[in-house]
Structure formats: C-alpha cells, structure tokens
Chains A and B, each alone.
Chain A
Amino acid sequence: MTYKFQLSKWQLIAWSTGLLLSTPLFFLLVESLQGDSEVFTHLWNTVLWDYISNTVLLVLGVGLLSCLIALPLGWLTAYCRFPGKQQFEWALMLPLAMPTYIIAYVYTDLLDYAGPIQITLREWFGWQSPNDYWFFDIRTLPGAIIMIALVLYPYLYLIFKTALREQSFKLVQASQLMGLSAWKSFFKVSLVLSRGAIVAALALISMETMADFATVSYFAVSTLTTAVYDTWFGYYSLTAAAKISGVMLLLLFLALITERFSRRNQAVFERQSSVNSEALYILKGKSAWLATGFCSLILIISFIIPMVVLLKYAIMYFDQAWSSEFFSYAWQSLKVAAVVSVVTIVLSVLVVFYQRIAKQVNPLIPGRLASTGYALPGTVLAIAVLLPLTLLENTINRILTPYNLDIGLLLTGSLLTIIFAYIVRFYAVAHGAIESSFSRISPSLDMASQSMGKSQGHTLRLVHLPLLRRGLLTAGLLVFIECMKELPAALLLRPFDFESLATHVFQYVSDEQLELASISALFIVVVGFIPLYFINRSMEQHS
C-alpha cells in the first residue's frame, strides 16, 4: 500500500510539473488553431521555406561545429595530461558566460568590410573595393553558425567531460591494454559510452540555437525565430506567429524522437568508484603542443578576443559607460537567476526521479512536456506565459469584483512572471544534465536501497542526491548563466523598475553602440565566473 501511495505522489509531482511548465505552450498552440490563416498561407507561399531551410542548416551547423570543438576538448581535459591542462579545464567553460549577441557584435566589428582587419588588408595590398579580393563575410549563415557554436560548445564540453569522468576508467584502460590507440579508444569506447550525454547536450544546443534571436537578426539570417517576430510584430498576427511556433515545435519533436530512437536499446550504467587522478594519456612532444595549441586557439577565439575588445571599449568609453546603477542591475539579475536555478533543479530532480521509478506507460512524458519551453524564442515565450497568467489574473479579479477586491497585476506585474518564464525556458537545461547523470547510476543501487526497506524518498535523498552532486552543480550552473544572459523575455516581462544587466546591454547593442554598454557586458561575464568557479572547485575536490 505504501508503495502505491508513494508512487502516485511522485506521479502527481512529475505530471503537475510537466503540465504546469507546458501550459504556456498549450495556450500558444490553442492560439495557433484559431482562424486567420491568410498571413500564414502568404508566408508559406513566399518565404517560409527559406526560413525553415535556414533554421535546419543553422541547427545542424552549430551541432556539428560544437562537436568538432567540444568533443576533442572534453576528451583531452578528461583523460590526457598536457601543458596548461588544469587551466584549460576551467577556462574552456568561460565562453558560456558570454552572451551570443556580444560575441557576434564584437566579431562583426572586427571582421566586416568596414572593420579594422579588412581596412588594414586594403591598406597593405592597395585593394580598393570588395571586388578586388575575397574575404569571409561574417554576417551570413556560416558566420552565425560559428558565433553560436563558439558560445554553446561549452554545453557539450561540460556534459561530455562529466560523462567521461563518471565512466569507469577501467574500460578505457582495458581498451589501451588491448592495443587500441588513443584515437580508436576515443571513437570506440569514450564516444560510444557517452552517446547519451552527447545527444542530450546536442539537444540543448539545438534548442538554444533555434531560439536564438539576437544573433541571427543581427546577422540578417532569417530563421523561424525571426519569422515569428516579423509575423507577430509586422503582420500583427499572433495566430500566424503561433502557427510558425508550431512548425518549430514540430522540428523539435522530430529531433527529440530521433534522439530517443537512436538510444532505444541503450543502457549504460557505469560509475567509477574513485577517479584516477593520474591521466590515462600523458602527451609529449608534438601531440602535447597540438593539444595545448588547440585548447588555446578555441579559448582565444571564443573568449579572450571578445574580452579584450570589451575591455578596450570599457577603457576608451569609461566616462560614458560607467554608472553606479550597475550594482543594482547586477543584483536584480543575480537574484532572479539564483531563484530560477534552485527551482529548476528541484523540479527536474523530482521529474527525472519519477522517470526512473515509474512503472506506468511512458514515464518520460512529464519531462518532455516540461522541456518544450526551451525551444521557444524568448519573446514568443513571453507572450505564451502572459496568455495563461493574464487569464488567471483576470478570472481571479472577476471573481473578486463582487467583494470589491482586486489583485490587479499581482502575477504579471511582478517578478513572478519573469521567474516563471525562465523556469519554463530553462527547465530543459537542468533536465538534460540531471537525466544524463541519473542514467549513470546503476538501478542495482535503487534495488539495494529498497531491499533495505528504505522508501523512495529516502533513496533519492541518501543514495541518488550525493551521487548526482556534480550533475546538479552542472545543471545549476548552466541555468544560472542562461538566466543572466536571457534577453527577449526579460525585455518584455520585466515590471517597472526592473533592469537586468542583459536588458541594459541590449539597449545599446540594438543601437550598434556596444561600446557604451561595455562595462555592463563585462559584468555579465564576470558574474558568470562565480558559478563557474564553484563548479570547478567541486569537480577538483571530487577528483
């Protein structure tokens, strides 16, 4: 009896979370089913296919480039010893703290036709016009792919590295003993064992890429996200915009189904008893240089150059850019990010735990439902969140009217709405990281705990949580940083007197004057360092 009651308790929590977090999406879909298909048909006949192909190419491109960057980095820092390894291990996460629109801005400034690099080249070689030479055009689809991948690769890097660390070294050692070269062992053992983690990270990267608005619009690359904006704010048709969001979700579900399908028979339960502090491969000579060189190159491009440019701006424009209000913006951003991180972690642990213990059909549904918000672009999400919340508010107000009471905009006029929107948006980030960590805990531990008469709640608290510590930290870090950077939803949902660092920076970026917001931009990045520091310390202590 007890067992049954407990299961239904977990079921209730998981399903409530799934349903609650998918409510905005549900409202949006209802909106998309309304009439007014004239605009949608027009788009379908004119530009929609261009948008879809751009979106698919963008997602595939970012995914591929992230793999090319992050998998070697993850493997090198997890298993190898080479000069600078310890510093790189930490530093390679840093680009995560950099909002994509900042890196895009910085590189456009550097690389476009009117930027210093091309100007210098023209001066050197005497070229007069664009017809005299070829140069990589940054404001294009490939440019957007590079910019987004440079910021998002750390997702894959972090999750892949965590997965490698949590795998038994014995397997890799065994592959070594059987004479597999490092390369072969990487492909045949590490990649295969971490496939689940890699796919989970790629799913996150894909969703984040799909939702990106700032970079693609800055680069004039029309994607479904920009189409949603245009339709909504240009054609003033929320219904058609919702229909396009529907197309995006369809793509997303296809991706998720493919992911599930590819992992259908996979179950890998590995856990090291203690991580070997000795590296498996000690790189020397050319390979050591190559490893250090590759890590340095990625770090320089993805982080150091943008930081140097920001610092240069901050120094040059200090008088115009400095404001004592930064501390209050930073504090506002921090408190929202902290609340959202804690809530999403708690919710995703509960939902993933339910997935683990549930005996019902399709226990994955609540988690999938709760994760759908991630693919929505911030502005769409903002309205999707406003739809149910205003309805709720209005209903409560209507009920209270006869009693001369009125809650006004208690929900939508306060920070609660932003917090809810962020939870909807970033739940998937926490879920992905925690699910991947959970999957590596052998079910035999659960059985052992159960056989000792421990309840499921006890098992979760005493067995799983300690083992999940690193996954939880990773999840919390990712959500925290995402919240710090989040922009469109914050712009739209913030109450009076609320300014986050991101909204402050974007006001200037949107006017192509990042210089004047360089100090705030630096703040966002520096504030992002704090959780990075903690997670790194925890990883070090663990090993």
Chain B
Amino acid sequence: MKKTLALVVGLIISAPAVATDVVNIYSFRQPFLIKPILDDFTQQTGIKTNVVFAKKGLIERVKREGKHSKADLVLTSNFSALIQLEELKLTRTIDSEKVNKNVPAAFRDGDGQWVALTKRVRNVYSSKERLGPLPELSYEDLAAPEYKGQICTRSGKHPYNLGLVASMIAHHGEVQTKTWLEGVKANLARKPQGNDRAQVKAVKEGLCNLALGNSYYLGKMLQDEAQKPWADAVNINFPNQTNRGSHINVSGAVITKYAKNPENALKLIEYMTDNKAQNMYASLNMEYPVKPGVKLSSLVASWGSFKEDSLPLDEISKYRPLALKLIDEVKFDL
C-alpha cells in the first residue's frame, strides 16, 4: 500500500511543469493535421506548443476548469463550437490588427471573440460513371424522389451535417426543412454511418450515387495510393451555384478567458492566419484558406471556383439546436 501511495505521489509530481514560453492548446482538430503548422510556429518563435486532443468534451473541460484552466487556446473544427465557447463566456478578445487584416470580417466574430482559420465546403459527390457532374445540383434536390435509394451520408448529428441543416432552416424555416429532411432520409441508400471518406468509398462501390462530404477528404484520398480509386470514381459538386451558393463551415480558434499565456496564444493565431500557415493549411489539408489571396493547393484549385453562401455564421448557428431536434424528430440516424 505504501509503495502504491509512493508511486501515485511520484506520478503526480512527475506531471509536467508549466514552462514560460509555451502555448497550451485544446484541440478538436487531429494533431497530425495541425502538427506541421505548430512545429513551424515553434521553429519561428521558440514558443513551445502543448496539445490535448479530443473530439468531444473539451468545451466542458474548459468550463469546469475555470480560471485554473491551463488551456490558452482552443482549436475547433466547426463554427458551432466557436460560438458555444463565446456564449459560455469562455473567450477573450482577439485584439490584433494583423488578424483583422488577414481575415475578412465575415469569418471573424464582430466582438473579436473567435476567428475562423480555414473554410470547409459541404460538397455533394456524384458517381462519375452513373451520374456524371451535376453543376446545377442543390441541397434541396437531395430530397427529390429521383434520388431514391441513392444517397449516402454520415450521421445527421455530426457537426458538419448539423451546420448544413441549420443553414437550411435559416433559409427555408423549420417546417420546410423538416419535410426536406424526411425526403433526404427516404432517399438514403443505407443508415447514416462512417465518415465522409466512407461515403466516397460507397459511391465507388455502387452502393450509392450521391454522397455528402467536405471537400478536403477528397484531396486526402487523392493523395493516398490505396484510396485514390475511390476519389477517382466521383465528381465533386458545389451545390446551389445557381442561387445562394454552397454551405461553408469553418475551423477556427479562440483564446480562452483565463489563458495564462495570452500573448503567445495571440502570436499563434496571428501566425495561423498569415500567409505561411494559411498556405500550409491549403497544401497539407486541402482546405480553403480564410486569408484572401493565399494560393490554393493546385489540386483544390483544379476543382474550380464557386459561390459561397453569404449568410453569416452566427446567424446559421442560431438554428443549430433546432436542427438537432429535427434530426431526432425524423429519426434521421435510426
């Protein structure tokens, strides 16, 4: 027992000490996606980055830890997490000329509580062989009877789909969106499952002809020898080009209210919104940079330019809880 206690105490003492030149990050984004960027930041500035990665629960953790939280910065993979952090008053103002210059106002919070880092488009993939490109396709069409049994998607409750449903509510209202959701559900080829990559794979194998997915997954698959055939089997379509434009989600960052290293966190955000990191986001992750003028990766550029839905993110975000309720009401995932 004594030994056990000694061991326990030893383990606690061996917990890492907080060095001064660090920035501590809670990240919803996968470490392998952001590591090259963080490594370069450390090389440029000498500021060490520590990351705790989790796909869920980080906001709750920051909230519970309160003013003792070690997190200086939270990196999110969708806008609703950014807005939730703001609503819970867990953020502090990102006060930087540089950030304001780098990121257009549409991708920053009006009060400077969060900033988007990359844009992610909710695309519809179509089978090259069986449907070909569908330049005039809209999200609304996904409920059309002609696509019965042809659509694949991940869970309706995934933030990417929730964002899309919320934007549908913002544009069409609750009743119409519910009817639309029922239509999409009726058109599903299989129960929602897997991630965006799995949907493209299912199109390749003929299980479905249309699939919802974020564009960077396609880029990632094209880079992987084993997965390239899946990606080659689909066309990427930017929906609603004839009207409001495609739904955009974002990844982003906040500086936490109780950050112990706010200056370092700000430096990191400035770095992440600037040319080099934005370029890396584009080339490594195949995402769309938020900074205007940053070159897209040649692959992403080859997909062509497109019109974006201009509805502000906080406007869409308001309908997120309702979107979730509708998804439960139509039992989308069941």
Residues of A within 8 A of B (CB): 42-43, 46-47, 50, 113-114, 118-119, 128-130, 139, 219-220, 222, 229-230, 232-236, 238, 335-336, 338-339, 342-343, 346, 379, 382-383, 386-387, 390, 393-394, 397, 408-410, 412-416, 419, 491-492, 494-497, 503, 507-508, 510-512, 515-516
- Closest residue of chain B to A230 (Cβ to Cβ) is B157
Check if B175 is an interface residue, CB within 8 A of chain A: no
Which residues on the A side are within 8 Å of B50 (C-beta)?
Answer: 496-497
Q: In residues 303-329 of chain B, which contact A (Cβ within 8 Å)?
A: 321, 324-325, 328-329
In the assembled complex, how far is the CB of residue B2 from the closest CB belonging to chain A, in whole angstroms? 11
Q: Is the CB of B11 within 8 A of A415?
A: yes
Residues on B with beta carbons closer than 8 Å to the beta carbon of A494: 52
Which of A47, A139, A386, A516 sits near B61, CB closer than 8 Å?
A: A386
Q: Which residues of A are found within 8 Å of B324, using beta-carbon distances?
A: 230, 234-235
Q: Are A512 and B61 in contact (CB under 8 A)?
A: no
Distance A234 CA – B160 CA, assembled complex (angstroms): 12
Is residue B250 within 8 Å, beta carbon to beta carbon, of the partner chain? no
A220-B193, A510-B55, A512-B194 known; A50-B334 Cβ under 8 A: yes
A42-B328, A342-B4 known; A397-B61 Cβ under 8 A: no
* A233-B52 in contact given A46-B328, A130-B207, A343-B4 (Cβ < 8 Å): no
Instruction: Out of A336, A343, A512, name the residue touching B195 (CB < 8 Å).
Output: A512
Which chain B residues border A119 with CB–CB below 8 Å?
Answer: 205
Closest chain B residue, CB of each to CB of A510? B55
Stretch at the interface among B64-72, B138-146, B276-284: B64-72
A410 and B12 CA atoms in complex are apart in Å by 8
A229 to B60, CA, bound (A): 12
Chain A, residue nearest B162 (CB) = A234
- Interface CB pairs A-B, < 8 A, 22: A42-B328, A114-B204, A114-B207, A129-B207, A130-B206, A139-B193, A220-B193, A220-B194, A220-B333, A232-B56, A234-B162, A339-B7, A342-B7, A343-B4, A346-B4, A397-B68, A412-B64, A413-B68, A413-B70, A416-B11, A491-B53, A495-B52
Across the interface, do A234 and B157 meet the contact criterion of CB distance under 8 Å?
yes
Could you tell me the distance between the alpha carbons of A65 and B162 in the complex, rounded to whole angstroms?
Answer: 37
Give chain B residues whose Cβ lies under 8 Å from the Cβ of A508.
32
Given the complex of chains A and B, what is the CA–CA distance between A416 and B198 in angstroms?
38
A42 touches B11 (CB 8 A): no
Check A492–B30 contact: CB distance below 8 A. no
Q: Does B167 contact A (CB under 8 A)?
A: no
Contact count A vs B, C-beta below 8 Å: 150
In contact, B157 and A113 (Cβ under 8 angstroms): no
Task: Assess whether A415 is in contact with B12, with CB atoms less than 8 Å apart.
Answer: yes
Considering the complex, which residues of chain B in the window 139-196 have a beta carbon less than 8 Å from any beta carbon of chain A?
155, 157, 162, 189, 191-195
CA distance A408 to B260 in the complex (A): 12
Interface-centre pick from A119, A220, A336 (highest chain B CB count, 10 A): A220
Query: What are the 7 tightest A-B residue pairs by CB atom distance, in nearest-first order?
Result: A220-B193, A414-B15, A114-B205, A496-B50, A46-B328, A491-B54, A497-B16
Q: How far is the CB of B72 from chain A (nearest CB, A)?
A: 11
Q: Is the CB of A387 within 8 A of B15?
A: no
**Do A47 and B331 contact each other (CB < 8 Å), given the known contacts A113-B205, A390-B65, A491-B53?**
yes
Q: Are B11 and A220 in contact (CB under 8 A)?
A: no
Q: Which chain A positions have C-beta within 8 A of B30?
A: 507, 510-511
**In the complex, what distance in Å separates the CA atom of A538 from the CA atom of B57?**
42
Judge whether A235 and B56 touch: CB under 8 Å: no
Contact at B54–A492, with CB atoms within 8 Å? yes
Q: How far is the CA of A222 from the CA of B156 in the complex (A)?
A: 12
Which residues from B are CB-within-8-Å of A410? 12
Give Cα distance in the complex from A446 to B32, angstroms. Answer: 58
- Residues in A neighbouring B197, C-beta threshold 8 A: 511-512
With contacts A409-B70, A512-B195 known, is A114 near B201, CB below 8 A? yes
Q: CB-CB < 8 A to A42: which residues of B? A: 325, 328
